[in-house]
Every structure is written in structure tokens, then in C-alpha cells.
Amino acid sequence: MFLLSKAAFDGGFNSYIFVFYRQAFATVALAPLAFFLEWKHAPPLFLPTFCKIFVLSLCGITLSLNLTGVGLRYTSANLGAASSNAVPVITFFVALLFGMETLKVKTRTGMAKLAGMVICLGGVAVLAFYKGPHFKFFCLFKHLHRQSQYLSSQQLHHPDSTSSHRSWVKGCFLMLFSNVAFSFWLVIQAILMKSYPSKLMFTTLQCFLSSIQSLVVAVAAERNLQEWKLGWNMRLFAVAYCGVVVTGVTYYLQAWIFEKKDPVFLVVPTPLTFIFTMLCSALLCDSIAVGRYA
């Protein structure tokens, strides 16, 4: 997700328009399934529940995705994936706030939890603020090598290093705020699904509401119709994949997990995202940095 999104943004795609198309693709993919599979058996949707889902979509999806989009424009795909390592920690504290988790510091389990949280946050801090060496591993896609070198040189040798550093720090904080919003969304979603347990309808409604909200944001940010066009290029592939797979399929699977487990269980494998992103970056000839790029 981070690699495709970053590639689309580097190609000039507006991040706000990207979020709208992503949510619209997810809605179109999920709506027929929700209609044929759960429409007849779904519980009635009362106005208070609808309002809660609307606010949940606004804060947890629309706000989070737009912050991530802007943050990616200032940073890199690897940093975006690395920042997600903070999600398990933030989600745990949010779940603790809502009484869904417990923390006994004097026990071995509690000490293990604290150690894991410190390691996650320490790794994120190093990757966000430490300027380390760059590595370039094997490359399977040779035809992308020259383009990758050009993009890397633009990132690594920006003429205004002070401005570049400020932009990077700004992007890091935007990622942090996005992760906070996402963590609250996970926990509150698990609570709200107890009053509306229709998983597919719940997910589709969130995608539909967030697509409307994202449309308002995108129209306010970009009114040039040329920027809204999708061709047979990276823009279309990125929004289709992120919309159908990352949003549609993943959000439904999350709702299914909430029925079995708690939100903290869901986010435990999140650090694997960073590993997969780094591997894909290496395959695409992108340089991997220990820390920030500039």
C-alpha cells in the first residue's frame, strides 16, 4: 500500500483525490456483496447508530487516510510502513483507556508488554529522526533502475536541506497523528459493532460515508478537473489495489476478527508491514536508509 501510494504521489497525483478514489473503489467493490449477502438479514440501522458510524468514518478513515497521504508526500514509503509500528502501542493504550485491556507492570506479562512497546516506539523514533547510511540490494526490475536512481537522487540531494528536514519532520508527525486516529478507530469500531453486528454492511457503510467525506475534502483542495482524470497508469492501479484490497477486503477481515478477538490482537502483526515494504523497495531498486532520507 505505502509503495503504490508513494509512487502515485511522486507522479503528481493529489493525495486528497487519491483517498476519494480509494474509498469509492472500495464502496463499489463491497456494495453488491453487502446487498446480496446481508441486506435481508441485516439489523435495522437506527439514526443514533448511523450518526456514530458517520463520525467514526470521518475520524478513523477520512482523517487518518488524508493525514497518511500528506505525510507520505513529505517522507517515504519505508517511513510510512515503519510508523505503523506505533499502531500496536497506541491501540493498546486506547484499549486500556476503554477498559478492554489490562496492564500489570509488576508481572512478567506486564513487563513483556512494556518492553515490546519500548522497542516498537524506539524503532519508529530511529527511522524517523536518525539520518543513517543508505543501502541498495538486488534489483529484479532492471527497466526501473534508471527511474529509481533519478527519484532517489531527487530525494537524497534536495537543494534546500533545511527545508527538506522540516518537511520530513512534518511528515513524521502527520504519520503519528494518522496512527492515533487509526488506533481510536479500531477500538471504537470493535465497540460499535456490538450494536450493529452486520460486518459486511458495517464495512460498506463506512466506506460509502468516507468516500462522500473524502469527496468534499478533495473538491475543496483541488478543483482542476485535469487532476481528477484516471488513465491506464500507476494512478489507476494504485487506487484500485488500495481501494479493493487494502480497504475493502482488509476492513471486512478486521470486522470479522473483532467478532473473535480484541483490537490489540488484530494489530500485533503490524510490524511485518515494514519488513514487506522494505523487501518490495529492494526489488524495485529503491535505496533503503537506516533512518530518514534527508
Alpha-carbon distance 237 to 194, whole Å?
35
285: left (phi over 0), alpha (psi -120 to 50) or beta: left
Alpha-carbon distance 78 to 276, whole Å?
10
Alpha-carbon distance 212 to 100, whole Å?
31
8 Å CB contact between 200 and 38: yes
Which domain range does residue 161 map to? Answer: 2-291
* Backbone phi and psi for residue 93, each to the nearest 5 degrees, phi listed first: -70, -35
Of 92, 59, 88, 53, nearest in space to 191 by CA = 53
Give the chain's domain count. 1
pLDDT tens-digit map of 125-176: 776 666 666 656 555 544 444 444 444 444 444 445 556 667 888 888 899 8
User: What's the confidence (pLDDT) of residue 160?
Assistant: 52
Question: What residues contact residue 177 under an 8 Å CB cut-off, 6+ apart?
Answer: 67
Alpha-carbon distance 26 to 13, whole Å?
19
User: What's the confidence (pLDDT) of residue 136?
Assistant: 60
What count of residues does the chain have? 294
Of 189, 171, 184, nearest in space to 83 by CA = 171
Alpha-carbon 120 to chain mean position: 17
User: Within the chain, which residues score under 50 in pLDDT?
Assistant: 141-159
Which pairing describes strands 131-135 and 288-291: parallel, antiparallel, or unpaired?
Answer: antiparallel
Alpha-carbon 255 to chain mean position: 16
User: What's the confidence (pLDDT) of residue 65?
Assistant: 94
User: What's the confidence (pLDDT) of residue 59?
Assistant: 92
User: What's the confidence (pLDDT) of residue 226?
Assistant: 87
Grid cell 520530513 in the structure block, residue: 168
User: What's the confidence (pLDDT) of residue 6?
Assistant: 82
8 Å CB contact between 262 and 124: no
Residue 172 grid coordinates: 513524521
8 Å CB contact between 180 and 91: no
